[in-house]
C-alpha cells in the first residue's frame, strides 16, 4: 500500500470516473467509500490496479462484505468473488437479489 493520494495525484484512469465531481476537491480520507465504489463498479483495469495499490485485498474484501456487494453487478460480484475469495453463499444471495424483477414486487388490487 502507498500513501493516500492528494487531489493532484489521482491517476487519469481514476479522475475520468468522477466527471460529475470537482476532482481537486476529492479527498482520499473523506471520500474513500465513494472512490472505492466508483473504481470497483465502473473502473478500468488501470483504475482497479491503482486501487489495489492503495488498499490490500483483505481491506477490499471487507469493504464489499460490509456493503453486501452494493453497487456491483452480478458479473462484477462473480469477478470479485474469485479475485478476493468472497464467500460463494453470500455472493449467490447478492446475485439472486439483483436478478429479481421489479415486476415481482408489484401489488395487485
Q: What is the pLDDT of residues 51-103, one digit of tens each?
A: 999 999 999 999 999 999 988 999 999 999 999 999 999 999 999 988 776 66
pTM comes to: 0.81
Sort 28 into a burial class: Cβ within 10 Å, 0-12 / 13-18 / 19+.
Answer: middle
- Transcribe 11-24 into DSSP letters: -HHHHGGGTTS-GG
Q: What pLDDT does residue 5 have?
A: 65
Examine the pLDDT at 3 and tell me if it is beyond 70.
Answer: no
Q: What is the pLDDT of residues 30-41, one digit of tens each?
A: 999 999 999 999
Q: What is the percent of the chain with per-residue pLDDT over 90, rounded to a whole number?
A: 67
Q: What is the dihedral of CA 20, 26, 29, 33, to 10 degrees?
A: 10
CA-closest candidate to residue 36, choices 7, 57, 9: 57
Q: What pLDDT does residue 24 have?
A: 87
Examine the pLDDT at 104 and tell me if it is beyond 90.
Answer: no
Amino acid at each position: 500500500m502507498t500513501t493516500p493520494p492528494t487531489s493532484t495525484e489521482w491517476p487519469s484512469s481514476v479522475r475520468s470516473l468522477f466527471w460529475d465531481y470537482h476532482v481537486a476537491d476529492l479527498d482520499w480520507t473523506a471520500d474513500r467509500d465513494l472512490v472505492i465504489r466508483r473504481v470497483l463498479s465502473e473502473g478500468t483495469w488501470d483504475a482497479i490496479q491503482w486501487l489495489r495499490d492503495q488498499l490490500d485485498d483483505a481491506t477490499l474484501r471487507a469493504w464489499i462484505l460490509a456493503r453486501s456487494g452494493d453497487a456491483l453487478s452480478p458479473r462484477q460480484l462473480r469477478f470479485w468473488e474469485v479475485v478476493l475469495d468472497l464467500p460463494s453463499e453470500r455472493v449467490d444471495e447478492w446475485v439472486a437479489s439483483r436478478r429479481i424483477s421489479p415486476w415481482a414486487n408489484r401489488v395487485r388490487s
